[in-house]
Amino acid sequence: MKEKGKVVEITDFIAKVSLEPGEACKTCPYGDFCRPAGTIRIIKVKNGIGAKVGDEVYIGIPVKSEFIAIFLLFGLPVMLGLIGLLIGTLYTEIHSVILGLVGFALGLIIAKIVNNILGRKKKLLPCIIEIINPKRALKKYSSLS
């Protein structure tokens, strides 16, 4: 999925892009949760194609980063929760519930730590995939696959 935005600041190879709600956001009943402070959201993205301040761009998330994020948020906590449940069945029902919850919580904590580490290394950042500017030649970033 790609979103349209405007570059508002550049620092090294990182750009800050202002995003307005897309068509899907306008009809989404949860739109207020994504954008509680207003309609415009500013995010950091990789600028691998040389966008400049003021350029309109499309941004996207590489497929590899999507899978990592999905696994960290959903897969790891659920997997550790199930392991806790299974270990708890060796004892009593209450042990199973407690160890399942502990496993799930541990999965969330590990996911947060890994996310912070990858965030510092800028591994999971979205990237600018196309510059939409009629004054400049269109450039595309091809590492989304």
| Phi, psi angle pair for 78, to nearest 5° | -65, -45
The answer to whether residues 38 and 89 belong to one domain is: no
The answer to whether residues 118 and 130 belong to one domain is: no
Mean pLDDT of 9-27: 78
Contact 52, 131 (CB under 8 A): no
Domains held by the chain: number = 2
Mutual angle of helices 93-120 and 76-88, in 10-degree steps: 160
Q: Which domain holds residue 12?
A: 1-61+126-145
Give the tens place of pLDDT for each residue, 24-46. Answer: 666 776 666 665 555 677 888 88
Residues β-bridged to residue 15: 10, 45
Give the tens place of pLDDT for each residue, 88-101. Answer: 999 999 999 999 99
Total residues found in the chain within this entry: 145
Give the tens place of pLDDT for each residue, 68-78. Answer: 888 988 999 99
